Structure 1
Amino acid sequence: MYEAIFRVDEPSSPIPTAGRDVRVDLWCTDHCDLVRAVGGDADEALADVAAAVGIADRIVAGEEHVAITETCLASERPDNLERYVGRHGCLLLSPLRYADGNRICRLLALQSDALRDVYRDLVADGYTVEVESKRTVETVASDRPLLDPGGLVPELTARQRETIELAIAGGYYEIPREISTADIADHVGVERRTAEDHLRRAERKLIDAIATYL
């Protein structure tokens, strides 16, 4: 089997995330959807969902909102990705993810050519598509093809995410370190102690998330 993750630019999405501090995960059924929105703008994102298909119930915990829709969001997407996937015999794995104005989709296929054909058809129809990753899935034990990798990633605030991404890119975790917390603070535009606090909190969340798998 072959797996690919596509990032599809979707400016007219029924879940608008462009310019918003929110990430939305969507699990579809044939009659309603489970929607999970996380971030400072989660409430605004779910307000758009409510306007489009209605919300039957919602649970809120801080910046995390989980909702059940009254009808399926697929009815609001005439350009469903599912028709491209089905055309070439691929499997679209849940959840669909929406962030930064893009729809992030994880696909499985028996032949690598099928993933190429899905990409080709999307581009031919005017979509901007970025292939985030592509790999061969050879064994269930080592590659875990049915595991949603996003599910292992803890929810970071926008500042925590920005700080740790800068730390990784700048070589903070290299030996020896190639960037200091003062450098990171300058890039983020905060005091050094604030940057260190963002970094420690992000690190703690990441460690807690993987601890049970060690």
Structure 2
Amino acid sequence: MKSRGGIPPRSRGGGGQELRDDIDQLGTVLHESKGNEGYHIVTQSCLCSLEQSIIDRFEKHNCLYQSPTIYRQGWEHYTVVAFDGEDIRELLGDLRSDREIELLSKTLISEKQIPHSMLAPANQLFENITDRQLAALQLALESGYYEQPRKTSLRDLADQTAVARSTYEEHLRKAENKLLTNAGQFLRLVTATSAADPLQVEETRRTEQAAD
């Protein structure tokens, strides 16, 4: 879908009552369904500060915006996921009331095809991470620090900066901690509907409890 005249600028979740608080924090619930694959909840959280943004209007009609927005020759191109044909028809009617709209393509997909990339909005993953912490994380990633085997060391990374090794390591560890903490709520949603226990954590716990 492409739009001219709109304002430029996001998740999917799984079931489990104990996860409901996490889900409510992610944004507006757009769609819920239950099936053989489990219980699915799709939420969206808008980045826009402007009340009348086009992304807000997607959400109003229970449609899920998939970034990025592409700007080409005066047009704004959006990808939107709808869970009901009537929702997309109402959305198009709403948008056509004040802008020029052209529907470029429409594809039928199943819920299982909705990528997990739609689950984790970038602004929430990197929330509360400072610019220096992000810079430390990016340098480590691009230098092969997280590859196996590692291609660099903390000392070598720090030598590329204007800060001491201990300072660089502090920035990096804080970035890692915040990133994993922020990703935790999405990780729980991804794994909530799976009964698999590949590391046999529950079995180990039961064995330990029986031994006690």
Which has the larger helix fraction? Answer: 2
**What band does the TM-score fall into relative to the shorter chain?**
0.3 to 0.5
Question: Could you state the TM-score of these two structures normalised by the residue count of structure 2?
Answer: 0.39
Q: By percentage of residues, which structure has more strand?
A: 1
Q: Which has more radius of gyration?
A: 2
Q: TM-score w.r.t. structure 1 length?
A: 0.38
